[in-house]
Amino acid sequence: MLGRMIDGAMYTVELHELIAGRRAVIAGVPGAFTPVCTCRHIPDILENAARLRSAGYDLIACVAPNSPWAVAAWAAEVDPAGVMTFLSDGNLTLARALGVTVSAPELLLGETSARYLLATDSGIVRRLNVEAKINNVDCTRARDVLID
């Protein structure tokens, strides 16, 4: 179960329902407001959103392991136009299901999500790229899902 803020209200979202019958690209990040996520990873996805949509991805989302309120505040900062759908994985439910949790005590993040890029088609995982280190953005850029 993920969280999503809409007009100041928190809603729960089941990922399988959100991605059913559509092509989706989901960027998983280690934390809202963190420098690599804010300055490199999500801006790359946003800059390439039109290319992703022309490649057939009708859902472009970001999942962060923070509370829905923190994720919404971050989304307003990094994506004021609302190009992406921002979701909270505050309980790490999705990260654990995907097997992408990491421990980052050196960054004071504790247990968090690895940086990943997930591409699905009608709920079927077509690609799951996971960075070797959470500060890397080597295989989780928009172009890494557009190579198909």
Average pLDDT of the segment spanning 2-15: 96
pTM check: above 0.85: yes
**In whole angstroms, what is the distance from residue 53 CA to residue 96 CA?**
28
pLDDT score, position 108: 82
pLDDT score, position 148: 59
Q: How confident is the model at residue 74 (pLDDT cuts 50, 70, 90)?
A: very high
Q: Is 62 a catalytic residue?
A: no
Sheet holding 59-64, edge to edge: 9-13, 2-6, 85-88, 59-64, 23-28, 116-121, 124-130
Number of domain units in the chain: 1
CATH number, domain with residue 76: 3.40.30.10
Q: Name the catalytic one among 37, 39, 62, 139.
A: 37
Segments forming the whole domain that contains residue 79: 2-144
pLDDT digits (tens, 9 = 90+) for 14-34: 999 999 999 999 999 999 999
pLDDT higher than 80, residue 1: yes
